[in-house]
Structure 1
Amino acid sequence: MKKLPLTLALLFSGIVLSLAQTAYDETLAKKLGADDYGMKKYVMAFLIRGDSVSKYTPEQRQEIQAGHMANIGKMAEMGKLIVAGPFYGQDDLRGIYIFDVQTLEEAKTLTETDPAIKAGVLKMDLKEWYGSAALMMLPEIHPKITKTSF
């Protein structure tokens, strides 16, 4: 009778392990560019308040922001920008981008297309980042949960 709990525990562990192993989808992993750990390299951009914000009127800043948002949409449509969003609060750290690119130089080239960068309203601090390849599915999922766009 004492062996029953041990036997049940071993049986349960075997079932859990086999379920975990069968969850792997090699086709999906390849499509997303995942390595054996389900991860991949990205470049993360930290958007920082630029030195030229005060040079512009509120109307000009609004126009720059509209261009910034349009540029985000363009980079997302290209499949290069996976995540973008602002931070809460009024600190100098304004937001992030996560790019699906291989090099810092490629990310830098993309950020230089942003009207807010060109105007000096924002600057970027780029870092290579190792994260879940599942992030690549966000552009497919996000529209399904978005009721109103910016």
Structure 2
Amino acid sequence: MKYYLILTLLIATKLTLAQSNFKKDSLIKNPNFDKSLAEELGADEYGMKSYFLVILKTGSNTTATKELTSNSFRGHLDNIFRLVEQGKLIVTGPLEKNKNTYRGIFILNNIENIDDAKKILQSDPAIQNGLLDYEIFTWYGSAALSKYLPFSDKIWKLKP
């Protein structure tokens, strides 16, 4: 019995060591790694970082006048452009009509914590006026995501 227990422990130890060595040996070092770019973008060792993913949804205000709605959504678009210029918003866009009343998404960049993200969202007139509401999630994605913005600015013909 003792022999069986010792043999089982040795096999388990060997398998654990083999797995941990496999993991270390299986990591691939990137020959294109650019340390200064990674640091500039705030990337971790995997080229990733945390963002705040915001799901915009229909707000609770169902009695807004046409004028308030129009002004609020004009302000919403102006706010989006301001946040993009500040580097705080790197992805935005509407969603198709859906049963969840989700209206669009934001990915907020270089925001320290969820309270700061909420303050930024409260600067949006459509949110202030209850026409939009939101849910916030921490999202882990490529730190290079913001690098698409200079290209996106070169492909639009009309600005809303």
Please give the range of the TM-score, normalised by the shorter of the 2 chains: 0.7 to 0.9
Shift of 1:68: 0.5
Write the letter of the residue equivalent to 1:85: G
Q: Distance in 2 between matches of 1:103 and 1:139?
A: 23
* Residue 145 of structure 1 pairs with residue 151 of structure 2: no
Q: Distance in 1 between matches of 2:141 and 2:30?
A: 21
Q: For structure 2, list consecutive stretches of 5 or more residues without a partner in the other structure.
A: 1-27
Shift of 1:139: 2.2
Q: For structure 1, list consecutive stretches of 5 or more residues without a partner in the other structure.
A: 1-17
* Residue 88 of structure 1 pairs with residue 96 of structure 2: yes
Q: Distance in 2 between matches of 1:90 and 1:69?
A: 21
Shift of 1:145: 1.9
Indicate conservation of the 8 Å contact 1:43/1:102, yes or no.
no
The equivalent position to 1:68 in structure 2, one of 65, 76, 94, is: 76
1:126-146 per-position Cα deviation (integer Å, ceiling 9, x unaligned): 111111111121222210222
Question: Residue 38 of structure 1 corresponds to which residue in structure 2?
Answer: 47
1:25-76 per-position Cα deviation (integer Å, ceiling 9, x unaligned): 2221111111111100111111010010x21233331111101001111111
The percent identity for this pair of structures is 38
* Residue 48 of structure 1 pairs with residue 57 of structure 2: yes
Instruction: State the TM-score, normalizing by the size of structure 2.
Output: 0.76
Q: Distance in 2 between matches of 1:27 and 1:136?
A: 15
Question: Residue 9 of structure 2 corresponds to which residue in structure 1?
Answer: none
Indicate conservation of the 8 Å contact 1:42/1:102, yes or no.
no
Counterparts of 1:99-110 in structure 2, within 5 Å, are: 99-100=108-109, 101-110=111-120
Instruction: State the TM-score, normalizing by the size of structure 1.
Output: 0.81
Q: Distance in 2 between matches of 1:139 and 1:107?
A: 20
1:95-117 per-position Cα deviation (integer Å, ceiling 9, x unaligned): 11111112111100000010011
Q: Where does structure 1 differ by over 2 angstroms across 4 or more consecutive aligned residues? A: 57-60
SS at match of 2:153: helix
Kindly tell me the number of residue pairs found equivalent between the two proteins: 132
Counterparts of 1:17-28 in structure 2, within 5 Å, are: 21-28=30-37
